[in-house]
Amino acid sequence: MNNLTRYFDVRDQIRAGDLIAFQGSGPLSGLIEAFSAGPSHAGIIRVIDRDAAGAKVVKMVESTIEGGRNGVQTNRLSQRLADYDEGGRAWWLPLADDVHQAIDWFKFYQFIGGAEDHVRFDTGGLFEFILRGLPIIGARIGQAEHRDRMVCSGFATAVLEAAGVLRGINWSKVSPQDLVEMKLYRQCVQLLGKPAVLRNFNSL
């Protein structure tokens, strides 16, 4: 189980709409990171709740295969961080205040609610994304958006597009690194792993 000290230090500052980026230590994560030169997974904060004792509970929605479930699902962030790959990393990317204020929250939750347990993780799309890194042929691979299946970063991008924050983006082509580079955030806080800087953070 991973140490959550850094997470608990900032938990009370996390808001719905913020993003979490992960960098895994397994072979598939390594392949994604090799082609995109960035993190391998991304989720978006869905809701802030309270447990029976009154402690804050942060829940993240993500498109993944986890706990026997395939596709868009909501998971407790502390549990995902605690159980994440040994040697992996995670970062909290809080949205800038003006971006947060621009979110249409009805459409934000409507889109997530419509996707949960209906949109599957796009395994084929994941490999299409990896192959897009190949010279010449990569630009011709997997250009279509599919509403019934999405990779993690594509889903997070689709949520932000539905909520009015992003426009005109083909979310099927968005990698976790592309999300990191979008100029949406006020800072970057590492939650897990050995210190590392996210390349080109908040630059585009």
Instruction: Report yes or no on whether pTM surpasses 0.85.
Output: yes
User: Does residue 22 belong to any structural domain of this protein?
Assistant: yes
pLDDT at 125: 60
Task: Give the CA distances from residue 155 to residues 6, 51, 68, 98, 136, in Å, rounded to whole numbers and listed in that order.
Answer: 26, 27, 19, 22, 26
Res. 146: pLDDT tops 50: yes
User: Does residue 197 belong to any structural domain of this protein?
Assistant: no
pLDDT at 193: 97
Tell me the mean pLDDT in the region 112-124. 87
pLDDT at 73: 97
User: Does residue 126 belong to any structural domain of this protein?
Assistant: yes
Res. 133: pLDDT tops 90: no
User: Does residue 203 belong to any structural domain of this protein?
Assistant: no
| Sign of the dihedral through C-alpha 111, 189, 80, 70 | positive
User: Does residue 200 belong to any structural domain of this protein?
Assistant: no
How far apart, in whole angstroms, are the C-alpha atoms of residue 108 and residue 67?
25
In tens, the pLDDT along 64-103 reads: 999 899 999 999 999 999 999 999 999 999 999 999 999 9
User: Does residue 93 belong to any structural domain of this protein?
Assistant: yes
In the chain, the number of structural domains is 1
Q: How confident is the model at residue 171 (pLDDT cuts 50, 70, 90)?
A: confident
User: Does residue 168 belong to any structural domain of this protein?
Assistant: yes
User: Does residue 35 belong to any structural domain of this protein?
Assistant: yes
The CATH number covering residue 31 comes to 3.90.1720.10
Burial of residue 196 (CB within 10 Å: 0-12, 13-18, 19+) is exposed
Residue 50 tokens, joined: 């309270």
Residue 33 tokens, joined: 């990171």
Q: Which domain holds residue 161?
A: 5-192
